Amino acid sequence: MQKSPLYAALFALLAAISFAQAQGVSTQPLDGVVALVEDDVILQSELDTAVANVRKQYVGRSDQLPPENVLSRQVLERLIMNRLLLERAAASNTKASDEEVDQAVGAVAQQNKMTPAQLRDSLQRDGVSFSTFRDQVRDELIIQRLRQRVVQSRVEVSETEVDVLLASNSLNTGEVHLGHLLVAVPEGASAEQIETARGKAAGISKLIADGMEFSAASIRYSDGPQALDGGDLGWRPIDQLPTFFADQILAMKAGEITQPIRSAAGFHIIKVHDRRDNTQQLIEQYNARHILIKPSELMTSDEALAQIRDLRSKILAGADFAKLAKENSQDDVTKQGGGDLGWFPPTQYGPELAMALIALKDNEISEPFQTATGWHITQRLGVRTVDKTKEYIRQQARENIRQRKADEELDNFSRQIRSEAFVETRLAGG
């Protein structure tokens, strides 16, 4: 499973810490400011640690990295954008609770096969403050939440839009694994700046055509946010791709690369790494009924178990399941229907019921099993495979429209706050 951008960033952060320590990069503030960002600063020590993060990810293939001054500039731009996003989040009172930070730290620990306590000890052995690491995790959560708020406030999808997309027969339900390289053009660029960027993009395109690896070209030359990941965009539903290059992607085969494509952000070069189709959705459903007995102040768990066992014995002896459910079940939603749960995916009512149903044959009665609600018995009445492709395609159409709008709005939002902000870089050669 592909990691979410949030957790991928956190895992990279953790990996960078040990690498930075091994290389002698101090995590303590050093004299020297490399950027002013509004009323804040970015220190040389922050940049050094972030650059160490990138180098850790490219151990053994450092030849793919751009020259030191270009790498530092790319990393610094990422730090600047994160700082601006955090300032915007603070202005809009966007926060992450301690509980949410704990959950994220726990996920990082689990991914690294540690407990949170072991993660803390590992960081301390490397001379890294656990509170500093938690602050970095909190920042990632806050940025993610800010982006979610931007999408929620700016992106709406109507049923009419979904109907139009489906009626056009232009919905493409497959997925593509893409690489991306961007030669950026600044806001309000002059004709000369645009032509310079066009020429640079054409030159990069020729280098790739002559045999340069796409990922290496992206690392060295791209101004895109995924540059230091080799431009890897991962798997994307085709209809969630930005409209300015979606049409070209449709006709491309795995391994093909576009010529530079112009957009408001600059010139894009896209590689199709692979394609796959995931249209048909066959869902297994169960038909079942159940009886529930709940422990209470007047009935212990053992007494509830004894009662459910007695009801099971009566059913096995010939008593009517539906009649006993109406008379005894404490599930107010289903008891009047004889405990009928209808047709449902196996996990809809929790893992305990799913496990019981999978173990049964049609018309068999389960052994008593316990959930957080109480003690149950269930009877499996049938199983079927349902084609949910139509519903899936409609939902995918809705999600594709939403994601396409979200990508465009987030790009506009980032460019807007960057262009409006006071930023002064003091990087040598920057």
Say if residues 240 and 407 touch (Cβ distance below 8 Å): yes
Phi, psi angles (nearest 5°) of residue 7? -70, -30
Among residues 362, 351, 346, 347, the alpha carbon closest in space to that of 285 is found at 346
Count how many residues are written for the chain: 430
Residue 170's pLDDT is: 65
- E-assigned strand segments in 38-126: 40-43
| Structural domains of the chain, with CATH | 5-154 (1.10.4030.10), 174-278 (3.10.50.40), 282-387 (3.10.50.40)
Neighbouring residues of 427: CB distance < 8 A, sequence distance ≥ 6: 34, 35, 47, 69, 72, 73, 76
Q: Are 394 and 171 in contact (CB under 8 A)?
A: no
pLDDT value at residue 175:
83
- What type of residue sits at position 275? R
| Positions of the chain with pLDDT lower than 70, given as ranges | 1-31, 169-173, 278-280, 429-430
Say which residue the tokens 């994220």 belong to: 104
Type of residue found at 350: G
Q: Is the pTM of this model over 0.75?
A: no
Q: What pLDDT shows up at residue 30?
A: 47
Look at residue 310 and give its three-state secondary structure. Answer: helix
pLDDT computed for residue 14 by the predictor = 55
φ, ψ of residue 112 in degrees (nearest 5): -95, 15
Report whether 158 contacts 58 (CB < 8 A). no
Three-class SS string for 202-244? HHHHHHHHCCCCHHHHHHHHCCCCCHHHCCEEEEEEHHHCCHH
**CA-based nearest residue to 234, from 403, 69, 379, 385:** 403
Q: What is the pLDDT of residue 109?
A: 86
What is the H or E stretch that residue 395 is in? Answer: helix 389-420
pLDDT of residue 301: 94
Distance CA 163, CA 178 (A): 28
Report the b/e string of 151-189 with b at 16+ CB within 10 A: beeebebeeeebeebeeeeebbbebbbbbbbbbbbeeee
Q: Please, which residues bridge with residue 370 across strands?
A: 375
What are the pLDDT digits (tens) for 120-142? 988 888 777 888 889 989 999 99
What 388-391 contacts at long range (C-beta under 8 Å, 24+ apart), as own/partner pairs, is 388/281, 388/282, 388/283, 389/279, 389/280, 389/281, 391/281
Specify whether the CB–CB gap between 40 and 428 falls below 8 A.
no
The CA-based dihedral angle spanning residues 295, 301, 303, 305, taken in that order and rounded to the nearest 10 degrees = 100
Sheet holding 375-387, edge to edge: 340-344, 282-293, 375-387, 369-370
Contact 353, 267 (CB under 8 A): no
Task: Give the pLDDT of residue 279.
Answer: 62
Q: In the numeric block, which tokens belong to residue 409?
A: 């709005």
The whole-number pLDDT of residue 49 equals: 84
H helix runs in 23-67, sequence order = 44-57
Are 120 and 126 contacting, i.e. CB atoms less than 8 angstroms apart? Answer: no
